[in-house]
Chains A and B, each alone.
Chain A
Amino acid sequence: MSLLKKRRIGEGLIQAFLYFCGIFSIFTTIGIVYEIGKEALLFFFNPDVSIWKFLTGLKWQPQGGEFGILPLVNATLMTTFFAMLIALPLGLSIAIYLSEYASSRLRSIVKPVLEVLAGIPTVVYGYFALSLMTPLLRKIFGDDVVNIYNTASAGLVMGILILPLISSMAEDALTAIPLSLREAAYGLGATKLETALKVVLPAALSGLAAAFIVGISRAIGETMIVALAAGAGPNFTFNPFKGAETMTGHIVRISGGDISYDSIDYNSLFAIGLLLFIITLGLNIISQRIVRRFREIQE
């Protein structure tokens, strides 16, 4: 009885510390939303800026007082498009191959390779884009067509970066499908391909969709590749062989230079950051919803 009544201050302190650790991540989120929101609001309340022009303007020229974000968004979408063009079909094929066809020995070789690919810092991919992909594109399409800095090269290399992410998420989704479904399909005389494409794939569709969305979110937030290879300077163009600065690329270039606090340039970066945060957060939340629903159906 006396032991139960014994006051354990240490135990309480530890519990308080652990609770603080747990709650700390909430502080981080509040910090992000508050700080970025605050600076972004300062930007929007600036008399030279209107939200409407920010969202629809076709020119981003801080020196000229023009803050239209569409050129940056457009470049981001272009690089993302090229990234998904590579990562989605390849990632899906790799996932199907690993989960449906490959022997466990082969899987134990390929998966670490993909893990290594996923662990390489993005600045290395930026180097890769600039020193291999761009010269390659220029050799294929001609020097006068392809600029040294272009969104296609950055996007394609970004696809290689995202490939392991998509293939491993997609493979998880495919292997989560119970074996009984496959066996039923084989029992009906389906070939392996028919089983994979017509039975397993549709069953795993939501998991695959989640992988796809996370991939897009990652591509939108990716910075170093576009900072190095996509070009410095906002440019509203649909030509993938021309240079155009993305949202992340712009933030890095401007904040990397000498920038004075409380200037409209400084605040404008946070407006871009806020948009970036909202987009990626939205995509991540959607993908988590999908995964959760997928799991519920599985169980």
Chain B
Amino acid sequence: MRLTLPPLFVINLKRRHLLERIWRVVFRSSTVIGIIFLSLLLYNITNQSFGYVAEETKIDPDSLSVNGVPLKQLTVLELRDILAKNISSGRLRQLDRENPLLKMSNTEIYNLVWAEVVKPEIKASWSLYDSVFNKKKVFMEVAIKFPKAELKFISWINPVFLSSSQSSDPLKAGIRTAILGTLWTVFLTLIIAFPLGVGAAIYLEEYADDNRINRIIQTNINNLAGVPSIIYGMLGLAIFVRALEPITSGTIFGFSTPQSANGRTILSAGLTLAVLVLPLIIINAQEAIRSVSNSIRQASYGIGATKWQTVWSHVLPGAIPGILTGSILAISRAIGETAPLVVIGAATYITFDPNNIFSKFTSLPIQIYQWTARPQAEFRNLAAAAILVLLAILLSLNGVAIYFRNRYRK
């Protein structure tokens, strides 16, 4: 016998099912939108990292060839003559003093001629999308606006970009000092924050009784994790850069190179970032330690081990994958952190490599910030290229973290 449903119920049911379908689409498309955002972001950055540039030279390199021999195949002497002919004698003497011209190799002096005489300059740049799909428009634009310019397709990430230091010329600017600065600071951050963070986690999980002080410590750590990073920057500025200046600038240890800069050093940055990531490391490590089963501890006590022996030989080995994963994630946060470093006064324009912890420094995100803030389009391209490098570093770190997590998960 078929059940007959009242008509109102049937109408209602249809309406309810329609609503169900509509909302399901809404929920699903929100999720899709989230994924679209990520793809847009990546597209945007890749789009700016490659593309056509219109390069104009002050002097056509072909006109410099001697007796039909192209510039590249000339001898050192001939190249030197070209230099002498085209730049002022004062500048020539200055260059000679910096680096004797006649002792240079062919490529060195060739590069010098290129930089001093030919002087290539980027007049305009186009995105990857335009370079691929609107080629005609790009060619037309160049023909009209920059008739003398040569159109070249370049990747903004290239060996020169990775290996040279900051420069005001977008063709020569690179991220070498920024990468070194990032490595120095993050290394310092790690060796300061890791032992402190893991120590605090061990204390809270293994040693602390449930009393008032320990509860305050725990709440305090949770609160610190939510403090905006810029506040840590101000803390770093007030304490590490100003109050502890004799230590962080290295003068107390007899360091007074021209490179040190009133406490605005790698050491200050490392300390600031260490304080910043400490709560994250503690919280992650606590979780890892908590996940070690209690029976292991009791077995260890049962055969007469002391508290520390138990922790060191039985709890930590089980917790270490989790601790490492959490620490790697915290470190990748430190690598991408920009605001606190700007506040403590990272240098924005340095051309030498940092060589000790009392050096001035810049870092990859700061370089990106600087280039993005400039109005010229070429610097946007540089920023995009630097972002690709930064994201590559972060993604590989995350990959390592996931690898650890999966490998040790039973």
Interface residues of A, Cβ cutoff 8 Å to B? 3, 8, 10-11, 14-15, 17-26, 28-29, 31-32, 35-36, 38-39, 89-90, 93-94, 96-98, 101-102, 110, 113-114, 116-117, 119-128, 130-132, 160, 163-164, 167, 191-194, 197, 214, 217-218, 220-224, 227-228, 248, 251-252, 255-256, 261, 269-270, 273, 276-277, 280-281, 284-285, 288
Contacts and interface: CB of A to CB of B under 8 A. Distances in A.
A24 B196 contact: yes
For the complex of A and B, the 10 pairs showing the least CB-CB separation, nearest first, are: A221-B228, A121-B336, A21-B199, A93-B30, A97-B27, A22-B203, A223-B339, A284-B226, A35-B238, A18-B203
A121 B24 contact: no
Contact of A192 (B20, B207, B234, B369): B20
Contact of B37 (A10, A17, A117, A191): A117
Interface of B: 16-17, 19-20, 23-24, 26-28, 30-31, 33-35, 37-38, 40-41, 44-45, 48, 195-200, 202-204, 207-208, 214, 216-217, 219-224, 226-235, 237-239, 242, 275, 278-279, 282, 304, 306-308, 329, 332-333, 335-339, 342-343, 345, 348, 365, 368-369, 372-373, 380, 383-384, 387, 390-391, 394-395, 398
Given A18-B203, A193-B24, A228 B398 contact: no
B342 A255 contact: yes
A277 B17 contact: no
Contacts of B45: 124, 127-128
A89 B26 CA distance: 10
A167 B37 CA distance: 14
Contacts of A31: 235, 239
A269 B238 CA distance: 11
Contacts of B235: 28, 31-32, 35-36
B275 A120 contact: no
Contacts, number: 257
B207 A19 contact: yes
17 contacts: A14-B308, A15-B308, A110-B31, A119-B394, A120-B391, A121-B394, A123-B338, A123-B369, A194-B20, A221-B229, A221-B231, A222-B228, A228-B369, A256-B342, A269-B234, A270-B234, A273-B230
Given A18-B202, A261-B242, A25 B41 contact: no
A243 to B, nearest CB: 13
Given A127-B384, A197-B23, A255-B234, 12 more contacts: A11-B307, A24-B278, A26-B217, A119-B332, A123-B336, A127-B45, A192-B24, A218-B226, A228-B373, A256-B345, A276-B228, A288-B222
B230 A276 contact: yes
A12 to B, nearest CB: 10
Contacts of B337: 121
